[in-house]
């Protein structure tokens, strides 16, 4: 029997994997795994990524480098390591917006865009399964962080929590 995996996104934004038998359309799920995620700062060197097949069309190495500088600026004003959930992102993003303008000229629109690059819709997303990382989104940023020897970057880490 051939099996496949389907990834489902639940109402809470959590991912679920469902293994289904492909040769029987009406079959029930054989295995159901719930995933939960949160933001963490991790060493990009601990995540395997092959840079040879990267195509720099959507983002450039220069933009990624500038985003690392923006993260350092933001860390001086906000405890970014306290952001754990997607709900907390909205709260902290508002604080970043309030820091902009004359109160803190270093918080530019570009810096806000870089905040969104790591904590917004296109955040780096990694799955930890069987003690191995699998990149879902953000290969270019992880690769560039390794190349520039960045010590820590924020990623949205998803982990298995239970089988159903």
Q: Please check whether residue 22 lies inside any domain of the structure.
A: no
Q: How is residue 40 written in tokens? A: 């963490």
pTM assigned to the model:
0.74
Q: Please check whether residue 25 lies inside any domain of the structure.
A: no
Number of domains in the chain: 1
Q: Please check whether residue 20 lies inside any domain of the structure.
A: no
By residue range, what is the domain housing residue 87? 38-156
Q: Please check whether residue 6 lies inside any domain of the structure.
A: no
| Spatial contact of 34 and 162, defined as CB atoms under 8 Å apart | yes
Q: Please check whether residue 162 lies inside any domain of the structure.
A: no
pLDDT of residue 2: 36
pLDDT of residue 99: 74
Please provide the average confidence, as pLDDT, over all residues in the chain: 79
Which pLDDT band holds residue 100 (cuts at 50, 70, 90)?
Answer: low
55: alpha, beta or left, given left = phi > 0 and alpha = psi -120 to 50? beta
CB burial readout 98-131, b (16+ within 10 A) else e: ebeeeeeeebeeebbebbbbbbeeebbbbbbeee
Q: How is residue 65 written in tokens? A: 């480098």
Mean pLDDT computed over 32-58 = 87
State percent of the chain over pLDDT 70: 74
The pairing of strands 15-21 and 31-42 is antiparallel
Q: Please check whether residue 113 lies inside any domain of the structure.
A: yes
Q: Which residue has the higher pLDDT, 3 or 145?
A: 145
Q: Which residue has the higher pLDDT, 146 or 52?
A: 146
CA dist 138 and 18 (Å) reads 24
List Cβ<8 Å contacts ≥24 apart for 72-76: 73/106, 73/107, 73/111, 74/107, 74/111, 74/114, 74/115
């Amino acid at each position: 029997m051939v099996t496949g995996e389907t990834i489902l996104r639940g109402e809470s934004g959590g991912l679920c994997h469902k293994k289904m038998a492909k040769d029987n359309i009406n079959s029930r799920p054989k295995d159901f795994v719930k995933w939960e995620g949160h933001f963490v700062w991790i060493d990009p060197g601990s995540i395997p990524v092959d840079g040879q097949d990267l195509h720099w069309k959507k983002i450039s190495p220069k933009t990624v480098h500038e985003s690392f500088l923006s993260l350092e600026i933001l860390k001086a004003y906000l405890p970014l390591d306290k952001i754990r959930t997607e709900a907390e992102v909205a709260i902290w993003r508002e604080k970043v917006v309030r820091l902009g303008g004359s109160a803190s000229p270093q918080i530019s629109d570009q810096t806000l865009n870089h905040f969104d690059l790591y904590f917004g819709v296109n955040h780096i997303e990694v799955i930890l399964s069987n003690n191995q990382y699998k990149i879902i989104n953000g290969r270019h940023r992880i690769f560039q962080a390794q190349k520039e020897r960045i010590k820590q970057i924020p990623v949205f880490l998803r982990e298995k929590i239970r089988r159903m």
